[in-house]
Structure 1
Amino acid sequence: MTVHHVPKTISDYIALAVVKAMRVPADLFFSRRYGHRAVVLETVAAVPGMVGGALQHLKSLRTMQNDRGKIKTLIDEAENERMHLMTFVQIAKPTWLERMIILIVQGLMFNVYFLLYLISPKTCHRIVGYLEEEAIISYTEYLAKIDSGSVKNVPAPQLAIDYWRLPAGASLHDLVIAIRDDEAHHRDVNHAFADSMARTRNRK
């Protein structure tokens, strides 16, 4: 589950450094309030897929070439991350301060990621791959707190049960496992996209 992509190029190291730097304020502000942390971070996590999908869509139109499924994959990823958010909003109930943080961080993330994607889509996908690695670590810690009793294992919201097709009576424990599996899939997809773009560049 906690697979790490070892950086190989300068852009890989930059991507990893960016993600590690982003984790610092999240750790300081949210500490171990995992539910509230998830609410804010999932609003950010849902941005890259939408931006990447839109720009890949425009590229396909511009070049008149098949996107090979990238557009749908990225838009689906954005929707999946949005469902993570909708679920944790029902569990954590974000405060007005957290809603203000979301507004600011999402605006910054959208514009910075958009500009960076125009310059280097490979680096963007590597950043997302590393972000997902960090998400897996956070959700694994969250799961450990639930299992130890430090965090109450509340019932999963009906929205989550319907979306992930969880069994009736599913708990927060079951939900976190399902979401962590999603993040592992996003990690692998984005690292694969970055690798594919690197190979394409090397062939030119």
Structure 2
Amino acid sequence: MYDQSHKPDPDLTLHKPPADIHDRIALKTVKFMRVFADAFFAKRYGHRAVVLETVAAVPGMVGGLLQHLKALRHIRDDQGWIRELLEEADNERMHLMTFIKIAQPTLLERGLIMIGQAVFFNFYFFLYLFAPRTAHRVVAYLEEEAVVSYTQYLEQVDAGRQEDVPAPQIAIDYWHLPSDARLRDVIIAVRADEAGHRDANHRFADQLAAG
């Protein structure tokens, strides 16, 4: 269960300008990834969500694992990082489970899921291992792009170019949505999650930069 009823409305326009070379590398990496997503999926936002949420669920699990090992090595408290990162991973997994119900992935997209997850897991694991600050900044900028993508998805639904289908029961249960909730309600809930992950990963990166 994931209750958003007491969460403040997120800032959907927030963008953190790069402060140094590490941040610029993170931002350029994300912009590079965005080019391929836009070229392949175009306006097929439901299918884009299925593939990208598979990748999005990787960083929290990797970060949680490596923070767990670090806390054990240094015999110190993790200051809540492990739980927050694992909760992020699980939240992204629920996004995937939801959009699989909305946009049935094709065989090609299922293949992309397998390849994308394998490539991104290894890339992110070693990035986090050697440059955790940059890793968190990459995720934060990915989430900035996710907020933009879900806003565009919502605009398509509102304009009638995407059918506002009933929300899957898994989404209604997870976000405590009304029983008659529609796709529009799901997109708003998911977008708010992504904005929260954006802010959290910018915060993690800032804390690591501050030592």
Is residue 89 of structure 1 aligned with residue 100 of structure 2? yes
Is residue 146 of structure 1 aligned with residue 157 of structure 2? yes
Is residue 115 of structure 1 aligned with residue 133 of structure 2? no
Is residue 75 of structure 1 aligned with residue 82 of structure 2? no
Is residue 199 of structure 1 aligned with residue 210 of structure 2? yes
Instruction: Please point out which of 131, 155, 165 is paired with 2:142.
Output: 131
Is residue 167 of structure 1 aligned with residue 165 of structure 2? no
Distance 2:13 2:50 in 1: 22
User: Match for 1:72: what amino acid?
Assistant: R
Distance 1:121 1:52 in 2: 8
Cα distance, 1:2 vs. partner?
A: 1.8
Cα displacement string for residues 166-185 of structure 1 (whole angstroms, at most 9, x for unaligned residues) = 01100000000000000000
Distance 1:104 1:168 in 2: 36
Partner of 2:15: 4
Partner of 2:190: 179
Large movers: runs of 4+ above 3 Å: none
Which has the higher relative contact order, 1 or 2, with Cα contacts under 8 A spaced 6 or more apart?
A: 2
Q: Which runs of 5+ in 2 are unaligned?
A: 1-11
User: Match for 2:119: what amino acid?
Assistant: L
Cα distance, 1:124 vs. partner?
A: 0.3
Distance 1:165 1:135 in 2: 22
TM-score normalised by the chain length of structure 1: 0.98
Cα distance, 1:149 vs. partner?
A: 0.3
Cα displacement string for residues 128-180 of structure 1 (whole angstroms, at most 9, x for unaligned residues) = 00000000000000000000100000000000000000011000000000000
Cα distance, 1:38 vs. partner?
A: 0.2
Q: Which runs of 5+ in 1 are unaligned?
A: none
User: Match for 1:162: what amino acid?
Assistant: D
TM-score normalised by the chain length of structure 2: 0.94
SS at match of 1:151: coil
Distance 2:127 2:157 in 1: 37
Distance 1:7 1:25 in 2: 22
SS at match of 1:40: helix
Higher helix share: 1
Distance 2:134 2:105 in 1: 31
Distance 1:183 1:156 in 2: 18
Identity of aligned residues (%): 62
Partner of 2:4: none
Aligned CA RMSD, in angstroms, stands at 0.4
SS at match of 1:152: coil
Partner of 1:28: 39
Is residue 56 of structure 1 aligned with residue 56 of structure 2? no
SS at match of 2:210: helix
